[in-house]
């Protein structure tokens, strides 16, 4: 590789390091890097530098976060969560899976993973505290649920990955990518619950893997567990001691409800539910662009509360817009320089393509524990394109393995999702919970990329 190819790569690494240790959006650094490399190394003008600006992805981010931000503000998201809990009649062991499912539905509809976690995790962690469920297990369930739906055909991450693959002349089934992500995250959640339950039995942990109807310490009674009390059996004389014994009686304490009583559904919430249904039909059945449909649906809701339009615009995930736009633009400049092609050629020389695939899975998995998963998807997936062009490995399997490896490690307390879980934990010391999240992240980083590679790459390659 020449110096003109190496220096932009070093700059890319520096961007991730800077964005990890300083509160600077990596998209800003991406735009600066795109200008420096494009203008001074390639002689591009501003229009040529922005030739690959991801306008469709940006519009999708704006539309989806605008619409669902408004849905959150008018109470529709909370309505959906509480309805799901009531549907299982508040059964303690089932409710964690309800949170998993609701988080996956939100991201599948287009909500960003951190946004979905932010919506769900306060209620989820409160439920864990009230039922004695491990906050670690509950946090993992919510995060895995958000990741399970994160690569649906209409989600931003799903659109991003599909655009990268298709722009390189390869085909990718969006539904296969979605079900692969859902299956892996579901499997990891099952393994988490089973593994924690086994450890809790062996080591006598304070918390359980799925919660209990017995009241958690300091949370009050939950679910009406029987409590023994004593009442006199007679023979007492006024104001004196009992002449007889006492009889133990089983009584039930006052029940602490797991979810609030249903409130009347407002007209605005009914309208929002209708618009969500219409969005699904128009996008999934009629294949209309979700960006414009979501913006239109958000505009309809805007007329229900015009005074809060500034807040609705502020709900748009502008930081994600900047991150994705800057990184995709910079990576496109690296492709023009030839850095991506040379890196891919070097990766192929490592040995068998199947070995290269697992190396890339671990590279993206380890790095994503500290850096932005979305930015890494834009940076690492292009490296696999020449490898996939040989036809030696299944395209959807490798892409899905890379995509899942990048997101599944977001249980780290350094990631946005992990930090949200840490911030909302109850009835546990934060430093202790931080160490638990960190240890769990280490296990996930060690195991998840290999699991993705084995299930999605090795098995399809053999058959």
User: How far, in whole angstroms, is CA 202 from its chain's centroid?
Assistant: 31
Cβ contact 57:377 at 8 Å: no
Q: How confident is the model at residue 220 (pLDDT cuts 50, 70, 90)?
A: very low
State the distance between the two ends of the chain, measured CA to CA, in whole angstroms.
37
Q: Other CB atoms closer than 10 Å to residue 227's CB: what's the count?
A: 12
**Distance in angstroms (rounded) separating the CA atoms of residues 428 and 411:** 18
pLDDT above 70 (res 258): no
Q: CA angle at residue 35 from 30 to 39, to 5 degrees?
A: 150
Q: Other CB atoms closer than 10 Å to residue 208's CB: what's the count?
A: 21
Q: How confident is the model at residue 208 (pLDDT cuts 50, 70, 90)?
A: low
pLDDT above 80 (res 318): yes
Pairing of strands 227-232, 246-251: antiparallel
pLDDT above 80 (res 406): yes
User: pLDDT tens for residues 349-381?
Assistant: 766 788 888 888 888 887 776 566 777 777 778
**Distance in angstroms (rounded) separating the CA atoms of residues 415 and 164:** 24
**Distance in angstroms (rounded) separating the CA atoms of residues 146 and 180:** 14
Which range, 294-298, 314-318, 432-436, has the best average confidence (pLDDT)? 294-298
Q: What is the mean pLDDT of residues 96-122?
A: 84
Helix, strand or coil, per DSSP, at residue 432: helix
Query: What number of CA atoms fall less than 13 Å from residue 2's CA on the CB side?
Result: 6
The residues that bridge with 230 in the sheet, in sequence order, are 248
Beta-carbon contacts of residue 258 (< 8 Å; ≥ 6 apart):
85, 90, 92, 95, 127, 130, 131, 222, 223
Q: What is the mean pLDDT of residues 107-117?
A: 81
Q: What is the mean pLDDT of residues 149-173?
A: 85
> In the chain, count of helices (H) and strands (E)?
21, 2
Cβ contact 177:188 at 8 Å: no
Cβ contact 350:87 at 8 Å: no
User: pLDDT tens for residues 4-37?
Assistant: 778 888 888 888 788 778 888 888 998 999 999 8
Classify burial at 134, counting beta carbons within 10 Å of its beta carbon; exposed 0-12, middle 13-18, buried 19 or more: buried
* Greater pLDDT, 384 or 293: 293
Measured CA distances, 261 to 189, 222, 256, 306, 458 (Å) = 29, 15, 12, 29, 49
pLDDT above 90 (res 185): yes
Mean pLDDT (the chain, rounded): 78
Q: Which pTM value belongs to this model? A: 0.66
Which backbone phi and psi does 42 adopt, to 5 degrees?
Answer: -105, -15
Q: Percentage of the chain surpassing pLDDT 70?
A: 83
pLDDT above 70 (res 233): no
pLDDT score recorded for residue 351: 67
pLDDT score recorded for residue 135: 87
Q: How confident is the model at residue 389 (pLDDT cuts 50, 70, 90)?
A: confident
Please give the structure tokens belonging to residue 38.
């494009």
């Amino acid at each position: 590789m020449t110096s003109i190819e190496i220096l932009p790569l070093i700059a890319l690494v520096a961007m991730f390091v800077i964005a990890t240790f300083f509160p600077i959006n990596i998209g800003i650094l991406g735009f600066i890097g795109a200008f420096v490399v494009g203008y001074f190394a390639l002689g591009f003008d501003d229009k040529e530098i922005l030739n690959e600006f991801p306008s469709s992805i940006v519009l999708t981010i704006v539309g989806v976060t605008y619409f669902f931000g408004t849905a959150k503000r008018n109470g529709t998201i909370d309505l959906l969560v509480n309805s799901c809990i009531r549907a299982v009649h508040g059964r303690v062991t089932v409710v964690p899976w309800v949170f998993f499912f609701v988080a996956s539905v939100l991201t599948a509809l287009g909500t960003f993973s951190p946004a979905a976690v932010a919506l769900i995790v306060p209620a989820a962690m409160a439920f864990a505290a009230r039922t004695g469920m491990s906050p670690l297990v509950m946090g993992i369930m919510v995060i895995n649920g958000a990741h399970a739906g994160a690569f649906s055909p209409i989600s931003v991450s799903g659109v991003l990955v599909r655009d990268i693959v298709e722009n390189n002349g390869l085909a990718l089934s969006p539904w296969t990518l979605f079900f692969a992500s859902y299956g892996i995250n579901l499997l990891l959640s099952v393994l988490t619950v089973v593994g924690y339950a086994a450890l809790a039995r062996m080591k006598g942990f304070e918390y359980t893997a799925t919660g209990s109807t017995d009241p958690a310490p300091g949370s009050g009674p939950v679910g009406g567990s029987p409590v023994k009390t004593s009442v006199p059996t007679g023979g007492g004389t006024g104001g004196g001691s009992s002449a007889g014994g006492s009889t133990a009686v089983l009584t039930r304490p006052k029940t602490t409800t797991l979810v609030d009583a249903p409130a009347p559904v407002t007209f605005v919430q009914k309208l929002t539910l209708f618009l969500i249904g219409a969005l699904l039909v128009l996008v999934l059945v009629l294949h209309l662009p979700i960006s414009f449909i979501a913006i239109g649906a958000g505009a309809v809701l805007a007329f229900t509360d015009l005074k809060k339009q500034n807040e609705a615009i502020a709900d748009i995930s502008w930081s994600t817009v900047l991150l994705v736009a800057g990184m995709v633009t910079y990576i496109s400049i690296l492709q023009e320089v030839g850095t991506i092609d040379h890196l891919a050629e070097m990766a192929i020389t490592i040995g068998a393509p199947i070995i290269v695939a697992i190396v890339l899975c671990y590279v993206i998995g380890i790095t994503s524990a500290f850096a932005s998963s979305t930015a890494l998807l834009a940076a690492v997936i292009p490296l696999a394109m020449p490898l996939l062009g040989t036809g030696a490995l299944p395209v959807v399997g490798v892409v899905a393995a890379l995509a899942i490896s990048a997101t599944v490690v977001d249980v780290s307390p350094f990631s946005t999702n992990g930090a949200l879980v840490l911030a909302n934990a109850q009835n546990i010391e934060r430093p202790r919970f931080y160490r638990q999240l960190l240890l769990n992240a280490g296990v996930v980083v060690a195991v998840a990329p290999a699991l993705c590679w084995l299930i999605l790459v090795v098995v399809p390659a053999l058959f």
